[in-house]
């Protein structure tokens, strides 16, 4: 094939030759067979999940089959319930990829909280990842009543990734134990394995793990089967469409996320789900960007640059003594401890008046007595 000519190799007719030949421009143009390959589109979320699993093959045991039936006994309903969770699931999968962790990490919040950032569990566990207060503090999260970073998708995911990475370092030849350690704690798993000779293919029931932890791993494997081979279970997985992936948008000054959502045409429920802490405080912080769908990132950036949004003042719960007959309606971010502090009542009394214990799970909208019935 004839090489293409550079722009300076063609001279007008009758033009005098130049005094010195210019550098050949053709050298700057790669030949066709040297052209750089076009970047490949990123695989979709489900393909990425299947390619990076710790359990690459679905091998249902009776326990796994039981959880497959529990999760997807109605495949259509299961798929519909997954649909609004996909942006957060993709975000968690991306973070696990950056840490080199198995893709089943994406399943952990599904099991722990069904991707609810305001979920409350027994013993004080909270958030998407159901982190305990001491664990959250250990990994740098603030745990301060309604201003609890476990409610934040980004902050809690960063902490969970650090914790899971430690488990991965402790069990480098058996990555499946990452999830056992997340459920039971690294110390308990190491203690259960002490003196045992095991490899990556040893059945989990032979590793001395508790029934609760084995059941937790069955849930991981069941969801892995459903997402890894959906056709086998007559499941049509929902699709994450372009523009729905979450991206971080910095706010140079505190703003009310609800007002931003109104300006850019975003549902309030979405911005609340992905930015729970900022939504509760009614104000962002410059240190913590908002997570928004990538399709709305440019509109959000332009709105912030316009200066039309007012500076927001963080909402702080006021402290007021409880009055006779007064009740409190549980809101997102509440805990028994924060409610008792707000109304200046003893935590033990608050639990007694409402028939609760420290393991009780509060529900949004639940009405609590603030005095003896």
Q: Which of 173, 201, 233 is the last residue of a domain?
A: 233
Strand partners, 367: 329
Let me know if 282 is exposed, middle or buried by CB neighbors in 10 A (0-12, 13-18, 19+).
middle
How many structural domains compose the chain?
Answer: 3
Q: Report the pLDDT value the prediction gives residue 201, as an integer from 0 to 100.
A: 61
State whether 157 and 49 are in the same domain. Answer: yes
State whether 294 and 196 are in the same domain. Answer: no
State whether 151 and 227 are in the same domain. Answer: yes
**34 occurs within a structural domain:** no
State whether 89 and 122 are in the same domain. Answer: yes
State whether 56 and 132 are in the same domain. Answer: yes
β-strands 367-369, 246-249 pairing: unpaired
Instruction: Name the pTM for this structure.
Output: 0.73
Taking the alpha carbons at both ends of the chain, their separation in whole angstroms is 93
Q: Which of 233, 264, 285 is the last residue of a domain?
A: 233
**183 occurs within a structural domain:** yes
**200 occurs within a structural domain:** yes
Q: What is the pLDDT along the chain (373 residues), one digit of tens a residue?
A: 444 444 333 333 434 344 444 444 434 444 445 554 544 556 799 999 999 999 999 988 999 999 999 999 999 999 999 999 999 999 999 999 999 999 999 999 999 999 999 898 888 899 999 999 999 999 888 887 667 899 999 999 999 999 999 999 998 878 889 999 999 999 988 888 777 666 656 666 667 788 999 999 999 999 999 999 999 999 999 999 999 999 999 998 899 999 999 999 998 788 888 998 888 888 888 778 999 999 999 999 999 999 888 888 777 544 444 555 678 888 766 788 778 777 778 888 888 888 888 778 888 778 888 887 6
Q: What is the DSSP string of 48-80?
A: HHHHT-SS-S----HHHHHHHHHHHSSHHHHHH
State whether 57 and 119 are in the same domain. Answer: yes
State whether 221 and 365 are in the same domain. Answer: no
**67 occurs within a structural domain:** yes
**Any idea what the CATH number is for the domain that residue 348 is in?**
3.10.350.10
**138 occurs within a structural domain:** yes
CB crowding 126-141: b at 16 or more within 10 Å, else e? bbbbbbbbebbeebeb
State whether 127 and 59 are in the same domain. Answer: yes
What tokens were used for 26?
Answer: 């053709």
State whether 221 and 93 are in the same domain. Answer: yes
Give Cα separations from 82 to 128, 135, 219 (angstroms).
15, 28, 16
State whether 212 and 351 are in the same domain. Answer: no
* Helix and strand counts by DSSP (H, E) for the chain: 16, 6
Q: Which residues are catalytic?
A: 112
**365 occurs within a structural domain:** yes
**318 occurs within a structural domain:** no
Q: Report the pLDDT value the prediction gives residue 320, as an integer from 0 to 100.
A: 46
State whether 333 and 284 are in the same domain. Answer: no
Q: Which of 233, 261, 279 is the last residue of a domain?
A: 233
Distance in angstroms (rounded) separating the CA atoms of residues 52 and 96: 10
State whether 275 and 331 are in the same domain. Answer: no
**141 occurs within a structural domain:** yes
Domain that holds residue 340: 327-369
**Any idea what the CATH number is for the domain that residue 178 is in?**
1.10.530.10
């Amino acid at each position: 094939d004839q090489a293409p000519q550079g722009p300076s190799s063609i001279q007008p007719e009758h033009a005098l030759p130049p005094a010195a030949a210019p550098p050949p421009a053709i050298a700057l143009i790669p030949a066709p067979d040297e052209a750089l390959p076009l970047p490949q589109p990123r695989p979709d979320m489900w393909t990425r999940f299947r390619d990076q699993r710790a359990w690459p093959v679905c091998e249902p045991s009776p326990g796994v089959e039981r959880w497959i039936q529990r999760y997807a006994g109605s495949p259509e309903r299961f798929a519909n319930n997954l649909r609004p969770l996909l942006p957060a699931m993709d975000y968690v999968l991306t973070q696990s990829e950056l840490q080199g962790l198995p893709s089943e990490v994406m399943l952990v919040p599904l099991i722990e909280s069904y991707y609810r950032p305001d979920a409350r569990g027994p013993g004080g566990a909270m958030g998407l990842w159901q982190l305990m207060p001491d664990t959250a503090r250990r990994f740098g999260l603030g745990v301060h009543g309604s201003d609890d970073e476990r409610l934040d998708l980004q902050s809690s995911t960063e902490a969970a990734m650090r914790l899971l990475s430690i488990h991965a370092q402790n069990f480098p030849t058996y990555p499946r134990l990452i999830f056992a350690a997340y459920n039971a704690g690294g110390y308990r798993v190491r203690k259960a394995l002490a003196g045992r000779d095991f490899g990556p293919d040893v059945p989990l029931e032979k590793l001395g793990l508790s029934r609760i932890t084995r059941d937790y791993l069955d849930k991981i494997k069941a969801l892995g089967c459903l997402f890894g081979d959906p056709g086998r279970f007559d499941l049509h997985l929902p699709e994450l469409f372009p523009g729905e992936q979450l991206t971080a948008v910095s706010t140079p000054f505190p703003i009310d996320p609800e007002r931003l959502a109104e300006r850019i045409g975003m549902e309030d429920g979405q911005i609340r789900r992905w930015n729970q802490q900022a939504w509760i405080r009614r104000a962002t912080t410059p240190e913590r960007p908002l997570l928004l769908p990538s399709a709305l990132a440019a509109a959000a950036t332009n709105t912030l640059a316009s200066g039309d949004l007012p500076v927001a003042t963080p909402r702080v719960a006021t402290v007021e003594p409880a009055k006779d007959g007064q009740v409190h309606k549980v809101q997102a971010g509440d805990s028994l401890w924060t409610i008792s502090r707000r109304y200046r009542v003893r935590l033990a009394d608050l639990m007694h008046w409402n028939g609760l214990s420290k393991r009780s799970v509060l529900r949004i909208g639940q009405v609590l007595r603030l005095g003896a019935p």
